[in-house]
Structure 1
Amino acid sequence: MSKFEVIGGRRLKGELVPQGAKNEALQVICACLLTREEVVISNIPEILDVIKLIDLLRGMGVKVERLQKGEFSFRANDINFDYLETEDFYSKAASLRGSIMILGPLLAMHGCGLVPKPGGDKIGRRRLDTHFLGFEKLGATFEYDAISGCYKASAQKLRGTYMLLDEASVTGTANIIMAAVLAEGVTTIYNAACEPYVQQLCRMLNAMGARISGIASNLLTIEGVESLGGCQHRCLPDMIEVGSYIGLAALTRSEITIKNVAIPQLGIIPDAFRKLGIRVEERGDDLYIPRQEHYMIEDFIDGSILTIADAPWPGLTPDLLSVFLVVATQAKGSVLIHQKMFESRLFFVDKLIDMGAKIILCDPHRATVIGQNHESQLRATKMTSPDIRAGIALLIAALSAQGTSVIDNIDQIDRGYEHIDEKLNAIGAEIRRVD
């Protein structure tokens, strides 16, 4: 298993270009199953999770061609359903959280589908009820085989209906949308997730001939159509990577420009960092983070301690709370980090405490960080990356620490960040990948 050896304490300077959005790529690649015509998608991040999904579709009979770096064509005109019963399919699909999103398109196009219980980050309970309740509303039936861990769904004909989702699940909303675009009649989805990833999926489907209105809101109306055609689509820059670079610049006291970030799609991410006292300047479609020796956390207006919490879009994405937490360790002041959505995502803080951070883990969802204002630097140590987002937070911590840190299980980081070591080494970091 690969690991990073990181020599910390270096100031970085230069430009970074974010990859395409991982979460969007997983959705729009699955949407290629909704047509027999060619779909071309560009700005796809060639990271572990995305490559796994592309390999899964290739095994299903989808014709995939890599046109150039980050650009692929897909043509799903001959799906091999026998493959869905093979060990190879089970193994690949079970290792990938995004594999659940093949089910909606298969239901819409072929009236049936199956997928093993998907994997992904071990960050607590991540139920799939929203997906299947939505499919049932559209007229599908589903069963779960507890022995094989396989979900199966089928429907003679999907029919549009009104539904109020039990939670604003991003992948659940995407899956239901993909099932509904070919359903008979009108589907109304209330409490839909409206993250930029879902917006992009809807725009791509409309380019293919779907009729979706209410995009960017939590109330979607979908008029079913008989068929969809091909299209060309480009993924947005990855806002999680953008946020990670803002945090990296602050903690390492570096000067970094992040290029072509699609500022309107970042939501409150830049302002959330500004609440920690970090200067984030907008220059056209770039973000410039100047070198700061110190940054001070704001208090609330009444003087109480600042709380940074995740929330459904347009609230703050939970994928960045790990980065906010590690950045706060060297701020001036204190902050409460409240991770509402996942109960195991804060458990990596014990590694930061070993490095000298002052953090009180209140419970599985809340941590209080007492910033040290760079008066006491983090210490290098050996650690293991438990998931994608904690992994990048630990890497940022290692880059700011004095000495050489070792991060094991970096496959977790590779699942979400493309060649992160090469990108950061190019602007002055010293990261060595050891296989």
Structure 2
Amino acid sequence: MSFDAFEVHGGLPLSGNITPQGAKNEALQVLCATLLTTEPVTLSNLPNILDVNRLLDLLRGLGVKVEQKSPHSYQLQADAIDLGFFETPEFRRDASRIRGSVMLIAPLLARYGQAFLPQPGGDKIGRRRLDTHFVGLQKLGAHFDYESDKRQYSVTAPEGLKGTYLLMDEISVTGTANVVMAAVLATGTTQIYNAACEPYVQQLCRMLVQMGAKIEGIGSNLLTIEGVNELKGTEHRLLPDMIEIGSFIGLAAMTQSDITIKDARIDQLGIIPTAFERMGIKLDFEGDNIRIPQQDTYEIQTFIDGSIMTIYDAPWPGFTPDLMSIMLVIATQAKGSVLIHQKMFESRLFFVDKLIDMGAQIILCDPHRATVIGLGRKNQLRGIEMSSPDIRAGVALLIAALSAKGKSVIHNIHQIDRGYEQIDARLRALGARIERVEG
């Protein structure tokens, strides 16, 4: 029996404290980075989510010793890698299920001069090309080949990697992570310009420096890396997941709840709190906690000249694309209107048809833009049966369901489980009526 659906009874105010899990996007990067050394690496605050567990299984298959120290702490040691695992059906099957598997390439290439990867999976949110990864590795001296019949990539560097100047053709977080992991063991100096500088990449770089890498410019879009011969082990703690934090802010606003987000690392959230305040949501900062007090209404701000507010995504320190779905759903019950402009992915707004079925007033202008006319709580959303298309849209629909009148059923919730740890149990602790049912 497959419990791949949530049954949600909405319209209930929630209350209490909730602690965000470790950052999913950081977890996938630092797990792959453990392949860069033969010594033990201990990672703490690792989220227990489907994507992380799948990557851990891939690492085990490659011969990495994986020891769980506590529910969210693991020690990994990659001192006996089995490159033959690349040829197995298990590797091709499991690596194709998770997009984060693409970051296995660089550390294996740097240490062993070869790596293979089937075309990775992940969210269906539009074109997510891998050119940036492979072009960067080629400039470091790797040879690239794509076997179309096997839908498999191969990268080799029989003469080793050599430092160079790299101008990234797009500001890709995982692309930057891959090139950084390759460059730390390359011969000579590498400069990476137009590098992504998200907190996830900063955390990866800090961990690599602790392991003995030489990286300058962390937090900027220009990284200078002096290659070293080897790296050592380390201990590293992941940041709290800023996407979960934003999701909980949206949940509190939509359900008229009083919720406190504990240990939020506010200093690492960038403009995320400001963006929610522009939507009219009150935030109280108490130490490193964020309290969202109960609000009967919230009103979207306008620009200084009175024109309609536009929320758009951009590379860090701009607003993260992973919270655009949350911003759209909270706008449905706000006072006022907003233009949601999802620039990076052209299929991420296609879930709005479900919100329209729930009673929201949304005009989908094109694949990248949607105008939301806020209902100002005059008309409560109504529960419906729907399906989660990807991680972020799935949580946005879950938030809508928790605020809606009546019962909703959300299918395909393994998508949500890929990025949110035991979300149903944690929401029940706040007073939500949500159960897993046969999907």
With the shorter chain as reference, the TM-score category is over 0.9
Task: Read off the aligned partner of 2:266 and give its amino acid letter.
Answer: I
Is the aligned partner of 1:80 residue 2:82? yes
Local SS of the residue matching 1:247: helix
1:205 and 2:208 are equivalent in the alignment? yes
What is the aligned partner in structure 2 of residue 62 from structure 1? 64
Partner residue of 1:224? 227
Structure 2: gaps spanning 5 or more residues: none
Q: The residue matched to 1:368 in structure 2 has which SS?
A: strand
Deviation digits for residues 150-182 of structure 1, max 9, x if unmatched?
Answer: 110011210001010000100000000000000
Partner of 1:284: 287
Where does residue 194 of structure 1 map in the other structure?
197
CA distance in 2, matches of 1:217, 1:252: 38
- One of 154, 179, 189 as aligned partner of 2:156: 154
Cα distance in 2 for partners of 1:100, 1:289 equals: 37
For 2:325, the equivalent position in structure 1 comes to 322
1:19-62 C-alpha deviation (Å, 9 max, x unpaired): 00000000000000000000000000010000000000001100
Q: Note the C-alpha offset of 1:434.
A: 1.2
- Report the counterpart of residue 48 of structure 1 in structure 2: 50
> C-alpha separation between the residues in 2 aligned to 1:325 and 1:372?
13
Q: What is the distance in 2 between the residues matched to 1:266 and 1:389?
A: 18
| Pair 1:305 & 2:308 matched | yes
CA distance in 1, matches of 2:367, 2:86: 37
Paired residues in the alignment total: 435
- 2:346 is equivalent to residue 340 of structure 1: no
- Structure 1 distance, partners of 2:202, 2:181, is 13
1-side partners of 2:235 and 2:71: how far apart?
A: 16
Report the Cα distance in structure 2 between the residues aligned to 1:317 and 1:383, rounded to whole angstroms.
26
Q: For residue 214 of structure 1, what is the amino acid of its counterpart?
A: G
Report how far residue 224 of structure 1 moved: 0.3
Give yes or no for the alignment of 1:389 onto 2:392: yes
Paired with 2:240 and 2:169, the residues of 1 have a C-alpha distance of 29
Aligned equivalent of 1:115: 117
1:94 aligned partner: 96
Corresponding residue of 1:145: 147
What is residue 273 of structure 1 aligned with on the other side?
A: 276
CA–CA distance in structure 1, aligned partners of residues 270 and 150 of structure 2: 41
Counterpart in 2 of 1:264? 267
In 2, Cα distance between equivalents of 1:399 and 1:332: 19
How well do the aligned residues superpose, as a CA RMSD in angstroms?
0.5
Give the equivalent residue in structure 2 for 1:254: 257
The amino acid across from 2:178 in the alignment is: N
User: Within 2, Cα distance between the matches of 1:126 and 1:17?
Assistant: 31
Question: What's the CA shift string for 1:361-380, capped at 9, x where partnerless?
Answer: 00000000000000100000
Corresponding residue number in structure 2 for 1:129: 131
Deviations 1:82-106 (Å, cap 9, x if unpaired)? Answer: 1110000000000000000000001
In structure 2, what is the Cα distance between the partners aligned to 1:136 and 1:88?
27
Quote the residue 1:362 is aligned against.
365
Which portions of structure 1, spanning 4 or more consecutive aligned residues, are displaced by more than 4 angstroms? none
Q: Distance in 2 between matches of 1:211 and 1:261?
A: 29
Distance between the aligned counterparts of 1:419 and 1:234, measured in 2?
Answer: 20
C-alpha separation between the residues in 2 aligned to 1:120 and 1:186? Answer: 33
Secondary structure of 1:396's match? helix
Question: Helix, strand or coil: the match of 1:296?
Answer: coil
Partner of 1:237: 240
Matching residue of 2:433: 430
Measured after TM superposition, the shift of residue 285 of structure 1 is 0.3
| Residue aligned with 1:413, SS | helix
Structure 1 counterpart of 2:231, one-letter code: L
> Residue by residue, what CA displacement relative to the aligned partner does 1:291-330 show, whole Å, maximum 9, x if unpaired?
0000000001111100000000000000000000000000
**Which aligned pairs between 1:390-405 and structure 2 lie closer than 5 A?**
390-405=393-408
1:373 aligns with 2:376: yes
Work out the CA distance in 1 between the residues paired with 2:343 and 2:149. Answer: 31
Aligned AA (1:362)? C
Counterpart residue identity of residue 60, structure 1: L
SS in 1 for 2:145: strand
In structure 2, what is the Cα distance between the partners aligned to 1:374 and 1:146?
52
Output one character per residue of 1:204-238: Cα deviation in whole Å (capped at 9) or x when no partner: 00000000010000000000000000000000000
Q: Percent identity?
A: 65
Counterparts of 2:152 and 2:285 in 1: how far apart (Å)? 47
Task: Please give the secondary structure, in 2, of the residue aligned with 1:189.
Answer: strand
Q: State the SS of the aligned residue for 2:8.
A: strand
Give the alignment's TM-score, normalised by structure 2: 0.99
Using the alignment, how far apart are the partners of 1:38 and 1:163 within structure 2? 31
Which of residues 164, 168, 179 in structure 1 aligns to 2:167?
A: 164
Once residues 281 and 118 of structure 1 are traced to their aligned partners in structure 2, the CA distance between those partners, rounded to angstroms, is 41
Q: Distance in 2 between the 1:80 and 1:185 partners?
A: 28
Task: Name the CA distance, whole Å, in 2 between partners of 1:132 and 1:126.
Answer: 13
1:281 Cα deviation after fit: 1.3
- In 2: Cα distance, 1:275 partner to 1:210 partner: 40
Q: Distance in 2 between matches of 1:194 and 1:55?
A: 28
Runs of 5+ in structure 1 lacking a partner?
A: none
